[in-house]
Amino acid sequence: MSRPPGGPGLAVVIDAPGVHRLVPHEPVPPGPGEALVRVHASGVCGSDREVYGGTRPEGYMRYPVVPGHEWSGTVAEVGEGVPEGLLGRKVVGEGFRNCQSCERCHTGDTTLCTAGYDETGFTRPGAMAPTLTLPARLLHVLPDDADLTAAALLEPAACVAAATLAAAPRPGERVAVVGAGALGLIAVQLLALSSPAELHVLEPRRERAELAREFGATGVVESAAGLEGRCDLVVEAAGAPGSARTAVSLARRGGRVVLTGIPAPGAAGLDPTALVTGRLTLHTVFGAPPTAWAHAVRAFGAGLLDLGALVTHELPLGAFPQAIELVGSGDPKVGKVLLRP
């Protein structure tokens, strides 16, 4: 085993909705099969806002909790049974603590583990702390020259990879992405790799258009007018109240739609008649299974994903409330917000 990281540092703890504190952090020594990671950066997303605001669905979080499910870091210590070759390696890690023995886990659908929901940063201590201890089997090793700041976005990239794998894009198709936030811009990059004939992005904020085009979009529009019923494949990445219905409206008859966003309760529902008579294929994504993680990590390691361009703010852990405000501000100039221990 290596020497544990020095100094306790501070960690963010959310005790209840709207109540957080900074507490001294003591690294948790890794047990058998575990690794202790020195955290480089932790991303802040809408799910963290839900935890802090008390709006996350019941059963999908547990107070008190150290948040942080998007992260990157370096392995500092390993427990019994873990190869010492992991020491010093740059890594990211899956968040779902699946049981590995139920039917869903055996088929690779680890985010649907029937043992119950259990995820880093929601029901287990997360990465808004100097270190994180987790099962080593959940780690994905990065190239030695990987940019760890950019790598902190590999969790959302893995979720988008799950969507694109489900969508099975084919060269020459007309493709659309609904939403040009972090998920949507990652989707544009992954979908562009399949050589679509057209790759449209539906995004009302004009400030997002330039990045979308840089990443491979052939067009950025502010409304669905003119795209309805034209697209072979549509990926919804907004999670807005009406974005799922909008995504379906863009698909041609016999087309494919993948929903990734989770809207708030009361969102506009889908018309089953339109789904059936249009013979649409509808996929949904919840988290990312290992195959999607591997896909995202390979693409990142090969230089096919520019995640660093999405980072607009890097703040210290003590600025957690400000980070939450930035993420919820709706300001188009706010991209990905990272917290650094």
- Distance, C-alpha 319 to centroid of its chain: 21
In terms of phi and psi (left: phi > 0; alpha: psi -120 to 50; beta: otherwise), the region of 121 is left
Confidence (pTM): 0.94
Q: Answer whether residue 222 shows pLDDT above 80.
A: yes
The rounded mean pLDDT for the chain is 94
Calpha distance 336→182 (Å, rounded): 7
Q: What percent of the chain has pLDDT over 90?
A: 90
Lowest mean pLDDT among 30-44, 46-60, 119-133: 46-60
Residues in CB range of 122: below 8 A, 6 or more apart: 47, 51, 56, 60, 61, 62, 65, 67, 69, 95
The continuous run of DSSP H or E covering 44 comes out as strand 34-44
What percent of the chain shows pLDDT beyond 70? 98
The per-residue pLDDT for 264 is: 73
